[in-house]
């Protein structure tokens, strides 16, 4: 089998090499076998194999023409068969230019192996190119090249950034007294204003709670390096400010309107996300150096073993104990599925050592031994793969390994504060052991007691290390609700504690402050709220209600407003909430969040942290997940959170709004659904849901009413104006298919374009579909929707794509838009017959092209030269292929672009000397379509013909363009006559 794997790799298309998954699929074997065989034969992964050829081609192009543009390079590389984007070309350009100009840098020391980079495992092997890039970036005058480090979680982005800082000091690019300023944009991602304040500082009065001027991190990084981790979490506004810093070295603090501050800093940013989709183009193109770090899985086993030994050395030095690692432990750590990369590997080793340290303390052995039972269960599973790689493992690790604590190893760079946290694990175990030993308990009992405690303790510490997120403090709260609210909340709690002789915790403080902020803002606008539980509250919580009335005086005096009894009732509920025994007697409203992508969990985490409650359930839906699966999860979640008072369903887009009705019908649980959910909505929903006297209807009405008040005057004016009727055509996979739906509707219901706008929408292309739907409803009167599933509420008629084949859709749409027979008259001249689309000069016979890109490029250029399509047609066709292959079987492909690129309808054709790979199919006949809505009938006829292999064979045997056209048109006529 190994020979087959190696042979398959040698026979692959070198421009587009096979991935491990593709090889495993071709040979019907497990992917792990491919991986271990590659490593055994020292064969690099597909990305590296491809990059090697790309670099050679790129350097060749640059040497031929040093002024060649990125666009020209991209086109030429695609013509050579490379499937490549312009962004990738940009990265390769930097590498290639560095390689060409390498002798200029060597004099300055870039070719040396500086000690600072030697601390990174793989610096001279798998990371050699990345280290070279890092050195070049730091050395570039005057302050280095701004750099973006890309890679999965845990691959070592922050370690590389820190190494670049120390290297900059070594070569005297920056002074040794300058600090390395590190900032994780995710820490404040839910509060963009606070994030900008941390980065750029603010002036007094810039926002509520800004009582004095504050410098930002950008100031601290002046003449040094600013490292921005998870930069994709930086808002668009923040990215714009940052690229001004990059462009002009100037910025303004938050709240400044005139003053321009200057700064000289090198910015290193890091992200785990796709930079094309998550970063602004204007920001992205201002970062010239992009360094891509490989995953742990794609690195050699020798390097992984080196990392394992390094991390054990660190733990030996930390515990001051010699460590013996069993052979099976090393085997498992070498081949287990380590999804979190180097970061997870290090954490798993630390957890293993913490467990073994307990036994070491009890047994008083000379060495601390790490056995297979000490490593986490996910790492132990690595031994299940051993049968596929035992020989390789035995060559690498032949027995147990001993690590001495006095080993002077180079430490892998570690975030500040992490070592202290890890030391706490061992200190905790040691202290607990001493404490329990005082009671003369047997060792096995001590072992059991600490063993039960250590699991949860380690888990919490690891979460702290991994997330690195600070708890919300008083200053953060002031930024949210204002200094005045926090001060009056403190005053109220002081009065309440004296009156009721009980203490109120931090959670209650935050919760009450948020409630008061909302209440005062509402009363300022002259809005009142009805409390249906008022009589019950006044009767059952008399002391709390009287206290609420007393402390309301201070609120009324400060804000010059009057609190009605309904508001006092809500305040009384908050005052009794702190009594857990009373609070738990009451049923609460259930809350379930559903979102597309990783949004719901983040919003729920913020709400929980702010309100101090562990409440609510978050469900996240990936784009390839079936709605039925999410509906099932949502139903189970509703059952789980329902305490008898119903469930509030918070969704991020209209397509999920129907779930509430379905769940209510299937389970009998009362459900209210709110779409276009944001973080503020989640906070308000959970804050009110946990109140004992609250009802589902009240929460729903409160949130809906609040949204109505927040609508601006422009939205109101739009609402008052007459909107244009519209149909929305929706496709999950992209807007291209939605355009096809539009074309079919226009062909079935003639004259409909005079009565309404037909809007196309692709779910995959929309980052926030909820916002897009909201925008459409502000501008149009949505009269119907057509697609895979309904994204609107039930009041708007919905037709599935299957309904398009049913003639009942025609009278339905005519009725909705009041289309008369006069409107339906078809203009025969507007339809293009197939013979008019097939021009002899656009037919190519027996082309000698080797791959898909070459064919698309050739035919697209032909259409462009003949004036049939506009610029951008080729790029749009290749982008469409990324969504899904256009091969339709029978050795045929029909690539195409949106109708907006068609100037004059036409079809370009190519028969190929040899069949080529097209997605997962083989293709020898290609029709590239440049059509519009007037070509639907002709397209149906062509596709119908191409579904029959008999006609395909006739076309492929044609030896001239005239013969091909003749055969095709005869076949169309033959099909027509047989109907």
For 804-842, give the DSSP string.
GGSTTHHHHHHHHHT--TTTT---GGGSPPHHHHEEEEE
Rounded mean pLDDT, 438-466: 50
Long-range CB contacts (< 8 A, 24+ apart) of 159-163?
Answer: 159/120, 159/412, 159/413, 159/414, 160/120, 160/130, 160/134, 160/291, 160/293, 161/225, 161/227, 161/268, 161/270, 162/227, 162/413, 163/116, 163/117, 163/119, 163/120, 163/134, 163/413
Q: Among 240-249, 489-498, 503-512, which stretch is predicted with the lowest mean pLDDT?
A: 503-512
- DSSP states of 225-258 as a string? EEEEETGGGS-HHHHHHHHHHHHHSEE--BT-SS
- Mean pLDDT across the chain, nearest whole number? 77
Query: What domains can you pick out in the chain, each with its CATH number?
Result: 157-292 (3.40.50.300), 301-466 (no CATH), 474-583 (1.10.1790.10), 590-710 (3.40.50.510), 720-826 (3.40.50), 830-978 (3.40.930.10)
Q: Helices 483-500 and 542-559 meet at what angle, rounded to 10?
A: 150
Quick one: how far is CA 575 from the chain centroid?
40
Sign of CA dihedral 226, 232, 234, 235: positive
Q: Which of 136-145, 801-810, 882-891 has the highest mean pLDDT?
A: 136-145
Rounded mean pLDDT, 684-709: 74
Q: Which pLDDT belongs to residue 130?
A: 92
Angle 121-124-129 from CA coordinates, rounded to 5°: 105
pLDDT digits (tens, 9 = 90+) for 561-607: 888 887 787 777 667 655 443 444 467 899 999 887 667 887 887 77
Q: Which pLDDT belongs to residue 718?
A: 36
Q: Is the pLDDT of residue 355 over 60?
A: yes
What is the β-pairing status of strands 401-403 and 322-325? antiparallel
Q: Which pLDDT belongs to residue 59?
A: 79
Q: Quick one: 717 exposed, middle or buried, by C-beta within 10 A (0-12, 13-18, 19+)?
A: exposed
Residue with tokens 């180079």: 410
Q: Which pLDDT belongs to residue 423?
A: 47
User: Are the beta carbons of 788 and 731 closer than 8 angstroms?
Assistant: yes
Q: Which pLDDT belongs to residue 946?
A: 83
Rounded mean pLDDT, 443-447: 56
Q: Which pLDDT belongs to residue 417?
A: 38
Look at 772 and 267; give whichever has higher pLDDT.
Answer: 267
Q: Which pLDDT belongs to residue 738?
A: 74
Q: Is the pLDDT of residue 765 over 70?
A: no
Q: Is the pLDDT of residue 12 over 50?
A: yes
Q: What is the C-alpha to C-alpha distance for residues 88 and 70, in angstroms, rounded to an integer?
A: 10
Confidence of residue 794 (pLDDT cuts 50, 70, 90): low
User: Are the beta carbons of 148 and 234 closer than 8 angstroms?
Assistant: no
Q: What is the C-alpha to C-alpha distance for residues 161 and 238, in angstroms, rounded to an integer?
A: 21
Q: Is the pLDDT of residue 518 over 60?
A: yes
Q: Which pLDDT belongs to residue 68?
A: 76
Q: What is the C-alpha to C-alpha distance for residues 157 and 380, in angstroms, rounded to an integer?
A: 27
Angle 442-444-445 from CA coordinates, rounded to 5°: 70
Residue with tokens 């810039």: 206
Q: What is the C-alpha to C-alpha distance for residues 268 and 289, in angstroms, rounded to an integer?
A: 9
Angle 460-466-469 from CA coordinates, rounded to 5°: 85
DSSP-based three-state secondary structure for 843: strand
pLDDT digits (tens, 9 = 90+) for 704-734: 766 544 443 333 333 334 577 889 887 765 5
Q: What is the C-alpha to C-alpha distance for residues 716 and 708, in angstroms, rounded to an integer?
A: 10
Q: Among 581-590, 864-873, 915-924, which stretch is predicted with the lowest mean pLDDT?
A: 581-590
pLDDT digits (tens, 9 = 90+) for 820-860: 755 554 333 356 788 888 888 999 999 988 889 889 989 99
Rounded mean pLDDT, 13-23: 83
DSSP-based three-state secondary structure for 954: helix
Rounded mean pLDDT, 768-785: 74
- DSSP states of 622-663 as a string? -TTS-HHHHHHHHHHHHHHH--SS-EEEEESSGGGTTHHHHH
Q: Is the pLDDT of residue 292 over 90?
A: yes
Q: Among 61-75, 200-214, 885-899, which stretch is predicted with the lowest mean pLDDT?
A: 61-75
Confidence of residue 499 (pLDDT cuts 50, 70, 90): confident
Confidence of residue 226 (pLDDT cuts 50, 70, 90): very high
User: Are the beta carbons of 766 and 772 closer than 8 angstroms?
Assistant: yes
Percent pLDDT > 70 in the chain is 75
Q: Take residue 825 and report the two structure tokens written for it.
A: 């008259």
Confidence of residue 75 (pLDDT cuts 50, 70, 90): confident
What is the β-pairing status of strands 266-271 and 401-403? unpaired
Confidence of residue 108 (pLDDT cuts 50, 70, 90): very low
**Residues paired with 843 in a beta bridge:** 909
Backbone φ and ψ of 803, nearest 5°: -65, -20
Q: What is the C-alpha to C-alpha distance for residues 256 and 650, in angstroms, rounded to an integer?
A: 38
Q: Is the pLDDT of residue 418 over 50?
A: no
Q: Is the pLDDT of residue 317 over 70?
A: yes
Q: Which of 45-59, 213-227, 664-678, 879-893 has the highest mean pLDDT?
A: 213-227
């Amino acid at each position: 089998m190994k020979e087959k794997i190696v042979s398959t790799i040698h026979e692959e298309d070198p421009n587009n090499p096979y991935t491990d998954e593709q090889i495993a699929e071709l040979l019907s074997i497990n992917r792990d076998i491919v991986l271990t065989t590659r490593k055994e034969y020292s064969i690099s992964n597909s990305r590296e194999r491809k990059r090697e050829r790309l670099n050679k081609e790129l350097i060749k192009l640059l040497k031929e023409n040093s002024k060649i543009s990125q666009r020209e390079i991209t086109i030429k590389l695609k013509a050579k068969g490379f499937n490549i984007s312009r962004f990738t070309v940009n990265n390769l350009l930097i590498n290639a230019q560095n390689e060409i100009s390498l002798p200029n840098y060597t004099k300055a020391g870039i070719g040396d192996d500086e000690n600072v980079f030697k601390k990174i495992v793989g610096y001279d092997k798998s990371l050699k190119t990345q280290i070279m890039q890092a050195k070049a970036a730091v050395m570039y005058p005057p302050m280095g090249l701004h750099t973006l480090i890309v890679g999965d979680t845990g691959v070592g982005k922050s370690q590389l950034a820190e190494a670049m800082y120390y290297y900059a000091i070594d070569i005297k690019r920056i002074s040794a007294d300058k600090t390395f300023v590190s900032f994780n944009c995710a820490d404040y991602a839910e509060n963009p204003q606070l994030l900008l304040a941390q980065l750029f500082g603010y002036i007094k009065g810039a926002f509520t709670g800004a009582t004095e001027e504050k410098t930002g991190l950008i100031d601290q990084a002046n003449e040094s390096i600013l490292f921005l981790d998870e930069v994709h979490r930086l808002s668009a506004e923040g990215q714009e400010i940052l690229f001004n810093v990059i462009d002009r070295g100037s910025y303004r603090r938050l709240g400044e309107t005139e003053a321009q501050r200057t700064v000289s800093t090198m910015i290193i940013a890091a992200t785990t996300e796709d930079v094309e989709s998550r970063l602004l183009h204007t920001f992205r193109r201002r970062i010239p150096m992009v360094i891509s770090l490989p995953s742990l899985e794609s690195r050699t086993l020798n390097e992984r073993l080196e990392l394992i030994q390094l991390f054990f050395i660190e733990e030996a030095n930390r515990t001051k104990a010699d460590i013996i690692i069993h052979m099976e432990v090393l085997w498992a750590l070498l081949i287990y599925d380590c999804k979190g990369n180097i970061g997870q590997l290090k954490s798993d080793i630390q957890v293993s050592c913490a467990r073994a340290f307990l036994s070491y303390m009890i047994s008083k052995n000379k060495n601390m031994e790490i056995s297979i039972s000490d490593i986490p269960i996910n790492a132990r599973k690595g031994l299940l793969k051993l049968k596929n790689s035992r020989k390789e493992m035995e060559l690498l690790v032949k027995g147990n390994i001993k690590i001495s604590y006095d080993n002077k190893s180079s430490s892998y760079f570690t975030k500040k504060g992490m070592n202290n946290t890890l030391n706490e694990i061992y200190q905790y175990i040691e202290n607990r052991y001493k404490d329990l030993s005082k009671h003369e308990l047997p060792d096995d009992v001590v072992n059991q007691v600490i063993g039960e405690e250590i699991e949860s303790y380690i888990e919490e510490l690891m979460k702290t290390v991994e997330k690195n997120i600070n708890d919300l403090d008083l200053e953060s709260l002031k930024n949210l609700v204002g200094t005045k609210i926090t001060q009056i909340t403190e005053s109220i709690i002081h009065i309440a504690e004296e009156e009721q002789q009980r203490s109120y915790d931090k959670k209650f403080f935050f919760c009450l402050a948020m409630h008061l902020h909302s209440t005062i803002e509402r009363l300022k606008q002259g809005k009142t709220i009805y409390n249906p539980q008022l009589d019950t509250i006044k009767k059952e919580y008399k002391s709390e209600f009287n206290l609420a009335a007393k402390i309301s005086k201070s609120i009324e005096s400060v804000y010059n407003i009057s609190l009605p009894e309904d508001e006092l009732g809500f305040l009384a509920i908050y005052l009794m909430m702190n009594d857990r025994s009373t609070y738990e007697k009451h049923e609460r409203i259930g809350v379930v969040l559903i979102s597309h992508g990783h949004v719901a969990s983040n919003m729920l985490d913020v709400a929980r942290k702010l309100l101090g409650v562990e409440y609510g359930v978050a469900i996240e839906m990936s784009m390839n997940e079936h709605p039925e699966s999410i509906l099932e999860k949502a139903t189970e979640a509703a059952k789980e959170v329902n305490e008898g008072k119903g469930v509030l369903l918070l969704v991020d887009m209209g397509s999920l709004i129907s779930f509430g009705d379905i769940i209510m019908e299937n389970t009998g649980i009362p459900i209210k659904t709110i779409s276009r959910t944001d973080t503020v909505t989640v906070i308000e929903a959970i804050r009110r849901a946990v109140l004992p006297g609250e009802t589902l209807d009240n929460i729903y009405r409160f949130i809906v009413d609040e949204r109505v008040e927040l609508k601006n005057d422009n939205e109101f004016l739009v609402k008052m104006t007459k909107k244009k009727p519209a149909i929305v055509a929706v496709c999950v996979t992209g807007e291209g298919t939605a355009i096809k739906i539009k074309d079919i509707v226009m062909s079935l219901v003639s004259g409909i374009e005079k009565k309404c706008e037909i809007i196309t929408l692709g779910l995959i292309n929309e980052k926030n579909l909820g916002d897009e739907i909201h925008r459409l409803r502000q501008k149009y009167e949505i009269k119907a929707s057509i697609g895979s599933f309904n994204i609107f509420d039930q009041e708007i008629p919905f037709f599935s794509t299957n309904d398009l084949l049913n003639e009942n859709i025609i009278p339905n749409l005519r009725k909705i838009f009041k289309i008369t027979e006069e409107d339906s008259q078809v203009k025969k001249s507007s339809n293009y017959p197939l013979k008019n689309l097939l021009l002899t000069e656009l037919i190519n016979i027996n082309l000698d092209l080797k791959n898909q890109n070459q064919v698309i490029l050739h035919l697209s250029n032909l259409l462009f030269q003949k004036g049939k399509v506009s610029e951008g047609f080729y790029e749009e066709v290749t982008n469409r292929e990324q969504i899904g292959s256009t091969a339709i079987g029978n050795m045929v492909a029909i690539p195409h672009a949106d109708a907006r690129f068609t100037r004059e309808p036409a079809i370009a054709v190519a028969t190929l000397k040899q069949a080529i790979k097209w997605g997962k199919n083989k293709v020898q006949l290609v029709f590239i379509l440049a059509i519009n809505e007037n070509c639907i009938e002709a397209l149906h006829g062509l596709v119908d013909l191409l579904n029959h292999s008999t006609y395909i064979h006739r076309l492929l045997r044609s030896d001239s363009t005239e013969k091909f056209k003749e055969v095709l048109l005869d076949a169309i006529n033959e099909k027509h006559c047989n109907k």
